[in-house]
Chain A
Amino acid sequence: MSPKSIFLAALVSGALAHAQFGRGGGDWLDAGGDAQRSGAVRTDAHMSVELAEKGGITFQWKQKLSGVPSPSVVASRLITYKGFKDLMFVATNNDIVYSIDHPFPKIFWEKHMPFNSLEVQAKTATATCPVGMTSSLALAAPLAPPVPNQGRGGRGGPPMPGAAGRGGMAQAAPVPTLPRPRRTPATVFALSSDGLLHVLNQHTGEDVVPAARFIRANAKVRDLMSVNNVIYAATVDNCGGAPNGVWALDLADNMVYEYKTGDTMVVGMAFGSDGTLYASTDKGMLALEQKTLKLKMQRDGSYVTAPAVFKIGEKEFIAAGNEHGHLLVLDAKLELVGNAPGAGKLSSLATWEDADKVRWLLAARGSAIQAYKVSDVGALEAAWTSKEMVSPAAPIIDNGVVFALSSGSRTAPAVLYALNIASGKELWSSGKSITGYSTAALSAGASKIYVGTHDGMLYAFGYTLPRE
């Protein structure tokens, strides 16, 4: 094993190790939040319906970036050579990756990825094929979602019973704990517009190994994910002449695997806990083997949302919406077990299990967010429908708070809403804080929600520990 291989192995194993406990900080690992594409922050030390009701969700900051940002990924409590940092990573269509210390914000590092391909760099966008980097970033994601917990409590000791001191603070709410700090640098995966996969040190932005050829340059990429040391992505619309399909890059040997879909378009991908990669397409739901991408099974249908995978007890389900407005729930054999027809085109999903073990499934449908409860056998029961929004983006669920983005238009800026998942009641809105419209999905992590807009602005809303 070469020194570089050893270093990469150490970094990757570090990343995997982090992935095992790293969600305690409410990290956001890829465009769908995790490998299951749940669109949910499972653990958050601060975000809650109570926080929202007390006015604790606020505009945090905005940061101008070079280019239009894609959804960000978030990793908190990294012990870097410049101190403990809570970093978010975001890429723009100008092939730039930013690392931002998100409580401030301060740009921690910035990485420009030069176009390095024999192909000619596309300079002119078309209606279906944008130019530049089209993929969001990815962090290593576990196949099995960790059980929510309250973290490790930093270096402080465990709470013990006792009397309060002077000052009448005995009745204070339980003190939130912090996720365990991460001692070694993990990696950020970035797929640049030249089709190279960059493995970047989270602490520095440096390539820890030479960038690997993954897909064709100028492709339009969806759903970059990292699972078990393999990188996955889908290509659509034949942009740059890249075949449509699903792609996998084994980081151990840089072998590329492919499942070409011809004129079929992949809508999105998510992993089952056994490693099955589910890919929804406009002609059916595919179940592929991890890494090799061999077809295990498929189900016909014209799907219009990415799948969301979740478990109820030991049973695993895959939810996706079809072109007829039906929100479908499939079992692991792709048999239909739940079906909720409705008016309005479905565009995206999110799912979360609350403390009472109620499984929620949220869908952006038409001009609203619609919430369903899922039974033990996968049946759907409509719960509530939000107010009208302009092109609602994929919702995010953060510890019982639903964040829904009215993406806006050229004439109406985007507005972010916080809703109570139990009732759909509006808890908060960003009002006029956002001045542009959004073309990207929301992302979240460490008690913040991020919105990127067409004018290269990145907005953060939510909660930050008081620094003063």
Chain B
Amino acid sequence: MRTTRFVVALALGCALAHAADWPTDGGNPQRTAWQKDEKILNRENVKNLKIVWKLQLDNQPIEMHSLFPPLIADKVPTPSGPKQIALVAGVSDNIYAIDVATHQILWKKHFEYPAPARRGRPTDPLCPAGLTATPVLGAPAANGSRPVYAMAGDGEVHTLNLADGEDLAPPYQFGYPYGKSYALNLWNDVLFTTTAQGCAGNPNQIWSVNIKDPSHKVMTYNPKSGGLWGRTGAAIDENGVAWAPTGDGRYDPATQTYGNGLVGAKVVGNELKLQDYYIPKNWAWLQSRDLDMQVTPAIFKYKGKELMIAASKECRIYLLDTKAAGGDDHQTPLERTPLICNEEVNFASAGIWGALATWEDAQGTRWILSPFWGPSHPDFKVPVSYGPVTHGAVIAFKLEEKNGKYKLIPAWMSRDMDQAEPPVIANGVIYAFGSGENTEQAYPDRGLDDNSPERIHDSTHAVLYALDAETGKELYSSGDQIKSWVHFGGLSVANGRVYLGTFDSVLYCFGLEGK
């Protein structure tokens, strides 16, 4: 009886939640991972975080992939009234819409299609044969219906009604079958994605399509690089330029080859064209050691300028101006940090992976956040830290500018986290997690042997942390409550809830009792 009352109270709490959305991977098209509208969770109460509910989904993991970061929309009109919906994509071509209040599945969509002729090698973690792009929510229509754009494993985009899962439009081809597309982004009616690892023969490039174009012409830009594998795909700046990191490859402007850098492409007419790029001066070193730039940048406004942060496995953060990335020679950032980690120069279990985050506090201080894997660099100094970091952590910088000179000032480094993943900032609290994933790709006796079965076997479990955004102090840890680990998943935060999906296809919803 007590349990029932508890559940009802929690459900009521969900229904009373304030209106905040998480409509896309990374929170917004700029991929800042900053939930500006959070009002419930704060520094004082986050210590009381609990698993409000968890839901076992019937999604089948493929290789190491399972659930992608949930999208959240509040006040979605449904036949049974307005609801807050968490929309979760699973790698086995599944889309689940979950009523946050009742944690019931409102609808489920499974995309069926003939098996593509080509697919990734079985046991290869890089190329799962299925849906790999986090969907994106469109803006609500006049009648309140809200479209979901989801790309199935065969590369077709489905436009679904968030309320009931029904098709709002016929599907159309966008991506490459089993081509491992990354998180969709939507800006001014243009859908973007990126591809990497050449899965099933897919070229590594930026892709775009205008959702209002009846012909759905697919527009691409290919930097002739390694994969564009920023975890949350491309970030979009105020001019509609899609910025994506490029993997290992050469830099040769004479042949328009832009490996180991960051490229920005924009739809011009009905083509996707390169607008600008940044290539670190030590790109050849990065290439030689497989330290590619592979982190989705985050874009933000600062003192009237639009700036961008990018990062690499080398374990540096770069500050760039979206209007002139890298300056006149494309190789001079506004600021570049020293090595934060990866003294070992390892391509697999060290460096910065995934995506970044940024926010501005009430005093106008701009904060830059980055996760990293492996031990912190012994030469990297930070004023506030919480014990030795050996498996990974979140690092925070403050951005300062004087007379046009920009500085990233180290502020704090979090406690050790087992493979720290991209954080989310909401209402003065940083949410971060150690994925518990085994990230080894090479072994002493075999060299390179990146295989899913071994990594799955050696993975442990994820741990969610809440940190004070100004000091990095741990405010909450989920301990061993999460039973599985995470690969290519991620956090979503909205309306007093923190979501994380794990390899075993369980979606966890953390929140406060009664709120």
Interface of A with B (CB < 8 Å)? 7, 77-86, 101, 153-167, 169-172, 174-178, 181-185, 201, 203-204, 206, 465-468
Contact = CB atoms under 8 A, between A and B. Distances in A.
A424 to B, nearest CB: 31
B446 A185 contact: yes
Which residue, of A84, A153, A164, A185, has the highest number of chain B Cβ atoms within 10 A?
A84
Give the interface SS of chain A, mostly helix, strand, loop or mixed.
loop
A344 to B, nearest CB: 42
Contacts of B226: 154-156
Nearest to A160: B255
Contacts of A174: 252
- Top 8 closest pairs, chain A to chain B, by CB: A156-B249, A83-B346, A162-B256, A157-B224, A155-B226, A155-B248, A183-B448, A156-B250
B515 to A, nearest CB: 46
Contact of A203 (B222, B255, B331, B444): B444
A77 B285 CA distance: 12
Nearest to B197: A155
B257 A157 contact: yes
Nearest to B224: A157
Contact of B347 (A84, A157, A468): A84
B254 A465 contact: no
A167 B284 contact: no
A457 to B, nearest CB: 25
Interface stretch (B28-36, B151-159, B287-295, B431-439): B287-295
A145 to B, nearest CB: 24
A83 B348 contact: yes
Nearest to B447: A184
A201 B444 contact: yes
Contact of A156 (B224, B253, B346): B224
Contact of B442 (A81, A172, A468): A81
Nearest to A157: B224
Contacts of A155: 225-227, 247-249, 259, 287, 290
Contacts of B285: 465-467
Contacts of B250: 153-154, 156, 159, 175, 177
A465 B248 CA distance: 15
Interface of B: 222, 224-227, 247-257, 259, 274, 276-277, 281-282, 284-285, 287-290, 328-331, 344-348, 350, 440, 442-449
Contact of B282 (A153, A171, A467): A467
Nearest to A183: B448
A156 B254 contact: no
A401 to B, nearest CB: 20
Contact of A83 (B225, B252, B344): B344
Contacts of A176: 284
A79 B443 CA distance: 9
Contacts of B444: 80-81, 185, 201, 203-204, 206
Given A83-B344, A184-B446, A165 B330 contact: yes
B443 to A, nearest CB: 5
Contacts of B274: 165
B35 to A, nearest CB: 35
Given A84-B288, A164-B253, A466-B285, A156 B225 contact: yes
B249 A172 contact: no
Contacts of A169: 253-254, 329
A449 to B, nearest CB: 19
A164 B274 CA distance: 12
Given A154-B250, A466-B285, A181 B256 contact: no
11 contacts: A77-B288, A79-B347, A82-B346, A162-B254, A166-B276, A167-B331, A175-B250, A181-B290, A181-B448, A183-B448, A466-B281
